[in-house]
Amino acid sequence: MRKALIFVSLGLAAMLALTACGTKNTPAATPTPLPDDVLNNPVASDDGVASDPNMEVTPETGAEIPADTELSGMVDKIYEAYPVELMMLTTSAVNLGDESWCTYNTGLTADQAALVDAGVLSESLTGSQAYSLVLLRVKDKADAQTIADAVLNNIQMNKWVCTMADKARVATFGDKVLFVMTNSELTDVDALMAAVPDALGVTFDYQNSKDAEI
């Protein structure tokens, strides 16, 4: 049952991605390959009941990792202040112990991920909308800027099928690192980041940005 649901989900994502490619005049982009264990990531339990979309499943054990309550709550507050209207937008846990998935979603190596206490990822489940928000909590706030720059410099802005982000922004506040990248046609990343301090009642300690050459 799991495999059937996996292939159905992947097939749906592929059809949506191809539709997006055929209807939009976007520059060609070579997507970053998914981790090899993608087909081992179950989307449903053995009884056929779909897994909680806010949980990430570890390929090694099949155990679900709940999204960190503090971090997911912050994401909710950000979206209340600056709504992002995307299909099937979901916030889920970042599995810091799975190096391939962690690098794919955050750009961090295993050594860098070891400095992080928890993380969440907010993206569209369709796989064809170039938008990603990553919120991390580091173990030592002295490492926040190091992690912020690592995410900004190493995450692939073309990780999706036939589409890519053209702007990326990162900021730190206390022991938190917030990274957002998007295609400007989907949302205004600068406006989103500008809304965060008031939404969370924080002040940014550090900010940096990157624009893709398209």
Side-chain half-sphere of 133: how many Cα atoms within 13 Å? 28
pLDDT digits 0-9 by tens, 19-51: 445 444 444 444 455 555 444 444 433 333 334
> What single-letter DSSP state applies at residue 143?
G
**Mean of pLDDT values over 134-141:** 98
Cα dihedral angle (24, 28, 85, 195), rounded to 10 degrees?
-130
pTM for the predicted model, two decimal places: 0.75
pLDDT for res 8: 43
pLDDT digits 0-9 by tens, 56-110: 544 443 347 899 999 999 999 999 999 999 999 999 999 999 999 999 999 999 9
State the average pLDDT for the chain.
80
